[in-house]
Amino acid sequence: MRNLKKWITTALLMVLLLPAMAQQKADSIYTFRFVAGDDMFYVPWSGNGEELNRLLSCVEQHKAAILDGGIPVEVDGYCTSQATADENLAMAKTRSNRVKTEMILGGGLTEACFTTRNHAAEGNYVTVRIVIPTGPSEAELEAQRKAEAERLEAEKRAEQQRLAEEQRRAEEQQKAEKARQAAEQAEAERLAAEQQAEAGRLNGGKTARTDVSGWYVGLQGGVPFGVSQFSSFGADKTRAGWTAGIHGGYRFNRVLSLEAQAAWGEVNLAQRECCIPDNYWLGTDGARYYAPVFGLEGWDYAALTSCVTMQRYGLQLNADVLGLFPATRGSRWSVEVSPLLAAVGTKASLSTLDGAKATTQGSTAWHLGVGGNIQAGYRFDCGMGVGIYSGITYLTGNGMDGLPKSGHKANYVWESGIRLNWFFTTSTRKEASK
């Protein structure tokens, strides 16, 4: 009966104490061994390394609650290896501080987290007791929520910093690329300036130019000499003619330009010295004879001159040879080789040496003209240019002088003259060194 009462009493007590037991806290104890007579904390000795890892893991798990004061950390230091109790307490204190330093440096705790007691008894070790509740308290939960919020905020700040750093690096790369391009452009401009200066030096120290594409127009006038059955270099004297014309073109670059021309003029010709002994005779029927024909009017070749009015419409390609060389590419001067293709109309009038009219060709004869010029020019700052030219144009078909064909097959015009041009191109000019 007595045992039964005892059992019932024990059961009642268990029922009454069960809620309280659920609120009890679990203790975690960690022991660190020290060498007798030494206060240094040797981690790889007597299992201290494994014990320290366990301790720091527990601290990391409950760090927020420990820092908030919800979980106490009790540190007890022991020492019995010294001669006196005071010396033992002093060494026990030093050993406790060694262990706390590991938790402060490795676990992020502060001195305020610890309750420290030191003893001059029982051995040479330090114990750390962390009182951990069986379940998280409201303070711990709040601390956890706070820690999680702080973690998320820290990650957000870190991501913002990372993006800002990437933006900064991208901007620096853009600045570096712009600086590189600016340096390359400056170097190219420097080299161009040096070339212009050298061209100016070769040009007598005058201002050099660099042309770009654009249009131009101009006037020209010249002195032509013709060679056909008759020639401007006649037996008695040389007879010069005249031409006047207009032209317009487009410059593609410093070397090439293409222009259209229209010109009008007059070429004067007479008997060649080589043909005087042949005593050729021209009848009014337009035929050539070796002697006068009875009953047919005519004229002795040696007594005739031919005045040829001429019109020319053509295209001319100009190639400036100075633009092919860096040393002269920026020069104001130009030396151009110019092939020419044109339609040439001629109409001859024959007269005697004393000015009497002999016969006139009935209509204008058209020829295909093929030839070319060589011309040199100089361009001023105002956009105007002046030049001289000389060239030959060969004519297809019958002779331009209005005479029947004989032994001479030549049929061409040699012309020299002057040109005036107005350029609408945009030019960059720089004063060259003298």
DSSP 131: E
DSSP string, 198-216: HHHHHTTSPPEEEE-SEEE
CATH of the domain at 382: 2.40.160.20
Whether 25 contacts 131, CB under 8 Å: yes
Does 128 share its domain with 205?
no
Alpha carbons within 13 A on the beta-carbon side of 288: 14
- Out of 2-6, 112-116, 351-355, 395-399, least confident range: 2-6
For residue 392, give the amino acid letter: I
Residue 217 lies in a domain: yes
Distances (CA, A) of 250 to 19, 94, 255, 261, 312: 107, 98, 12, 12, 20
Query: Tokens 């050729």 sit at which residue?
Result: 280
Does 289 share its domain with 215?
yes
Does 216 share its domain with 100?
no
Final residue in a domain of this structure, among 113, 135, 157: 135
What's residue 406's pLDDT?
77
Query: Tokens 């020419």 sit at which residue?
Result: 340
**β pairing state of 427-430 and 412-423:** unpaired
Which strand (E) or helix (H) includes residue 160?
helix 138-202
For residue 56, give the amino acid letter: L
Does 101 share its domain with 220?
no
Residue 155 lies in a domain: no
Final residue in a domain of this structure, among 84, 102, 135: 135
Q: How many domains does the chain have?
A: 2
Q: Which domain holds residue 30?
A: 24-135
Query: Tokens 């040439």 sit at which residue?
Result: 344
Residue 260 lies in a domain: yes
What's residue 192's pLDDT?
83
pLDDT digits (tens, 9 = 90+) for 196-243: 777 666 555 444 455 568 999 999 999 999 999 888 998 888 999 999
> Does residue 393 have a pLDDT over 70?
yes
> Does residue 394 have a pLDDT over 60?
yes
pLDDT digits (tens, 9 = 90+) for 30-45: 999 999 889 999 988 8
Query: Tokens 């679990």 sit at which residue?
Result: 26
Higher pLDDT, 110 or 137: 110
Whether 97 contacts 89, CB under 8 Å: no
What's residue 273's pLDDT?
80
Which strand (E) or helix (H) includes residue 309?
strand 304-320
Residue 190 lies in a domain: no
Does 375 share its domain with 275?
yes
Query: Tokens 């904390």 sit at which residue?
Result: 41
What's residue 426's pLDDT?
54
Does 272 share its domain with 393?
yes
Residue 8 lies in a domain: no
Residue 58 lies in a domain: yes
Residues of the chain with pLDDT > 70, as a percent, come to 86
Q: pLDDT category, 386, cuts 50, 70, 90?
A: very high
Does 352 share its domain with 241?
yes
Calculate the average pLDDT of the chain: 85
Final residue in a domain of this structure, among 117, 135, 153: 135
pLDDT digits (tens, 9 = 90+) for 242-263: 999 999 999 998 899 999 999 9
DSSP 44: T
Residues of the chain with pLDDT > 90, as a percent, come to 54
What's residue 266's pLDDT?
96
pLDDT digits (tens, 9 = 90+) for 284-317: 777 788 778 777 878 888 888 888 999 999 999 9
Residue 196 lies in a domain: no
CA distance 61 to 162: 28
What's residue 230's pLDDT?
87
